[in-house]
Structure 1
Amino acid sequence: MKTSAVVFAYHNIGVTGIECLLQAGVEIKLVITHQDDPDENIWFGSVAELANRHRIPVITPDNPNQAEVINRIADLQPQWLFSFYYRHMLSPELLAIPPRGAYNLHGSLLPKYRGRAPVNWAVLHGEATTGVSLHQMVEKPDAGSLIDQQAVAILPNDTAHDVFLKLTPAAKTLLDRCLPLLLTGNIEPKPLDLAQGSYFGGRKPEHGRIDWNQSAWTIHNLVRAVAPPYPGAFFDSSGRRFFLLGSHYSGETAVHSGKVCIYWADSTDGGGRAMHGAIAEDGHFYADCADNKRFRIEQLSCDGIALDHSAFKAMTGDEPLSLND
């Protein structure tokens, strides 16, 4: 008898999870996913489109824990339940349906970064490593015993988007390795020690506000954690809202000692070698920070309009934009 599952899935990892289950010979009786939010930047693959190509029924309930959904899944009598980047918590009633268990793929090395937006939080905190974890689902979020996990590196200038793109093939590697063992009952779950980990809630656009009292490394981590396709890091100055939509950190010393500011650095326009000593400037915006370090700004905008040197000069008179309190 072919083993069967019901799958809750969304995003690229949802697509990958379904593909891995099908490759492993699992019959997917139903896929539960989300309707795309028109206010969200949809840069990732469609679970619904994949399921439709494989003629798998799809539903998109606002609440997966309502009686109608629970009863429909119970009637299907799936042996397994899987969740791949699905955004809602599943009720104990749902988790109790499959006799062989319910399993979730989470975007961190559990027990670290339990909860929402694990990739963004890991980048924000300057982590050098994260990964994906397959674990048993229990009522408490991301707390069930671990099946397996796969690590990926976070490089110093990776954005959250860069890291997420690494997690998708890592998820395939993980599932290709552990699904055959899980499906045949030849893998032993390992309890998580939650005291060794951390839990984080969801992020909102306001969480991208920059505190210029922090170090260059800390601010750079915020910028890359929320860089597009996420909403971006921002600050307000003189009634204008500025967004930093990309950054690069290499540990350089700030140019304007004791001053927190943004400026254009180009050796060809009087703001380069003569002003900055031995530093060969490259025609970018930079931010000098409170710890006397600086980082390069890859894209700067003001009130929704991308800034170049001439637009910035028209605003500041070619003087640095002061960010000191």
Structure 2
Amino acid sequence: MKAVVFAYHNVGVRCLKALIGRGVDVSLVVTHQDNPNENIWFGSVAQVAREHGIPVITPDDPNTPEVVEQVQACQADFLFSFYYRHMLKAPLLEAARRGAYNMHGSLLPKYRGRVPINWAIIHGETETGATLHQMNVKPDNGPIVDQMAVPILPDDTADEVFAKVTLAAEIVLWRSLPGLIAGSAPHIQQDLSLGGYFGGRKPEDGRINAQASAEQLHNFVRALTRPFPGAFADTRAGRLLLWKTLRAGESKPAARAELYAADGQLWLRCSDGGCLMVLEAELEGLPLTADNFAGRVGTDALAL
């Protein structure tokens, strides 16, 4: 079986390795040039391809006639997309004889679209997963071949959940390939009414809603913590970033979330009366702790 692979990120690395491990002849890998302005915390698809002698291209636009011709020349049975960041249009999707398939980081039809793991945590989901589905010109709505769920624990960060989803993606692809090759893999139509579509996120989208509940704020912080840009608020003392919180019972409700120091610890009092223990915070680029809170902020609570 021959395949062309469009891939990036850790899911791209592990799924490319799964194809190679199953003996698939990968004729071409299409990936992205790393952006020097981006925090590259993930593995390199290009490096894996080169280690295995697979040709690699990194077009800015994969849908140009030149790239389509390169893909068509491979005469591939399948086209796979594993966390590739650009939409693939009809000429590419039709270039493989037996179809095009995508690995998506959610339990479709839930969280179709961009950054599904971050969105799932923001919304307080207790599970997500990986889904292999057939591609068409509309994003993430083709028939499902297989999917696998993973838990989202109450304090899991997006990075921790992403590691689980990466493993689930590898398992789903590995166990689906024999059926795809044999032509016996299931193709189950999605009921799109059971999920929704979500767009991408920018650093500015990390601005904290000071009227959110303690649970909502905790979910927001852990969805956006490192290696992502973080949850932030512009305060009277400067820009505050919250990197790690834990839920810590109840307190007196605040008109808007406010940060204070007590008993050697930072606390965030929230509008619903919930309270968060703040384990890691940053103010104007420097660590903020209970010990230096008074010197940097003053004795009054810091409103977000």
* Structure 1 length-normalised TM: 0.91
Q: Distance in 2 between matches of 1:318 and 1:165?
A: 41
SS at match of 1:71: helix
Aligned to 2:259: 262
Q: Contact 2:237–2:297 at 8 Å: present in 1 too?
A: no
Structure 1 distance, partners of 2:233, 2:140, is 34
Q: How many residues align?
A: 303
Indicate conservation of the 8 Å contact 1:156/1:249, yes or no.
Answer: no
The residue number in structure 2 matching 1:304 is 285
Residue 253 (structure 1) aligns with: 250
Indicate yes or no: 2:189 matched with 1:169: no
* Equivalences for residues 27-42 of structure 1 within 5 A: 27-42=25-40
Q: How far 1:72 sits from its partner (Å)?
A: 0.8
Partner of residue 290 from structure 1, selected from 266, 271, 292:
271
Deviation at 1:173, TM superposition (A): 1.6
Residue identity opposite 2:80 in structure 1: F
SS at 2:76 equivalent:
coil
The structure whose residues are more often strand, as a share, is: 2
* Alpha-carbon shift at residue 46 of structure 1 (Å): 0.6
Listed one character per residue, the Cα deviations across residues 244-303 of structure 1 (whole Å, up to 9, x for unaligned) are: 0111225x012x44464211232xxxxxxxxxxxxxxxx431101000011111211111
Deviation (angstroms), 1:308:
2.3
TM-score scaled to structure 2, two decimals? 0.97
Residues 11 and 169 in structure 2, CA contact (< 8 A), matched pair in contact too: yes
Deviation for aligned residue 1:238:
1.5
How do 1:117-266 and structure 2 match up within 5 A? 117-238=115-236, 240-250=238-248, 252-254=249-251, 256-258=252-254, 260-266=257-263
Displacement after TM superposition at 1:239 (Å): 5.9
Distance in structure 1 (CA, Å) of the matches to 2:67 and 2:25:
19
Distance 2:129 2:187 in 1: 18
CA distance in 1, matches of 2:278, 2:168: 30
Q: Aligned ranges for residues 25-174 of structure 1 at < 5 Å?
A: 25-174=23-172
Identity of paired residues, percent? 50
Q: Which has the larger radius of gyration?
A: 1
Alpha carbons 1:82, 1:102 under 8 Å: kept: yes
Tell me which moved more, 314-323 or 87-96: 314-323
SS of equivalent residue, structure 1 residue 162: helix
SS of the residue 2:292 aligns to:
helix
Please give the root-mean-square deviation of Cα atoms over the aligned residues, in Å: 1.2
Amino acid at match of 1:264: A
Shift of 1:205: 0.8
Q: Give 1:211 deviation, angstroms.
A: 1.0
Does the 8 A contact of 2:218 with 2:246 survive in 1?
yes
- Give the Cα separation in 2 of the matches to 1:56 and 1:257: 59
Gaps of 5+ in 2: none
